[in-house]
């Protein structure tokens, strides 16, 4: 069951140096614009409801989304597919190195200071250099366990 939904979405693209072979390779991510909704769950299934969010957000550790969204993402980066992280029981959509196939954990891309998408979570300024946002005018729903607000005037134009 999805926990995020929106009338449109954005594909974030960037380059990342592979930790395994040092090749610079493209990576993709999924961003929802301001006005998207998240499922608020208080633990009681009868009390679940959708709530609008006033700023954009990056999704990561994505377990599922519509097939057409996956196809669109894989057209931009054929090295993005569901995979298991070492020691994990749940697969998620993960970027892989175009050269050696090494799986890049979403923690590395979104939570580490030098991650491909971590800087755009941090605020204003030069952090947008090297990150390209492609708007897609199609609905998107997803089940993701990683969610980061993007507070920047650059992201709010979408």
Tens digit of each residue's pLDDT (9 = 90 or more) over 49-73: 999 999 999 999 999 999 999 999 9
Which tens digits make up the pLDDT trace of 113-134?
A: 778 887 555 444 444 567 899 9
Q: 80 burial class (0-12, 13-18, 19+ CB within 10 angstroms)?
A: buried
pLDDT-derived band at 155, boundaries 50, 70, 90: low
Mapped to the 3 state alphabet, what secondary structure does the chain carry? CCCEEECCEEEEEEEEECCCCCCEEEEEEEEECCCCEEEECCCCHHHCEEEECCCCEEEEEEEECCHHHHHHHHHHCCCEEEECCCCCCCCEEEEECCCCCCEECHHHHHCCCCCCCHHHHHCCCHHHCCCEEEEECCCEEEEEEEEEECCCCCHHHC
CA distance 101 to 79: 8
Region 99-122 average pLDDT: 83
Res 47 pLDDT > 70? yes
pTM: 0.87
If you average pLDDT over every residue of the chain, what do you get? 87
Q: How confident is the model at residue 150 (pLDDT cuts 50, 70, 90)?
A: confident
Mean pLDDT (whole number) for 29-33: 96
């Amino acid at each position: 069951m999805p926990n995020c939904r929106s009338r449109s979405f954005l594909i974030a693209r960037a380059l990342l140096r592979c930790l395994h072979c040092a090749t610079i390779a493209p990576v993709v991510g999924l961003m929802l614009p301001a006005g998207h909704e998240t499922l608020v769950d208080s633990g009681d299934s009868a009390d679940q409801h959708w709530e609008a969010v006033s700023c954009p957000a990056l999704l990561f550790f994505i377990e599922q989304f519509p097939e057409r969204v996956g196809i669109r993402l894989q057209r931009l980066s054929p090295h993005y597919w569901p995979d298991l992280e070492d020691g994990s029981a749940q697969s998620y959509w993960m970027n892989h190195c175009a050269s050696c196939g090494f799986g890049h954990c979403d923690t590395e891309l979104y939570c580490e200071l030098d991650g491909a998408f971590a800087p755009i979570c941090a605020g204003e300024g030069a952090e947008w250099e090297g990150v390209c946002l492609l708007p897609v005018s199609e609905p998107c729903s997803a089940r993701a366990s990683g969610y980061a607000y993007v507070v920047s005037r650059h992201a709010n134009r979408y």
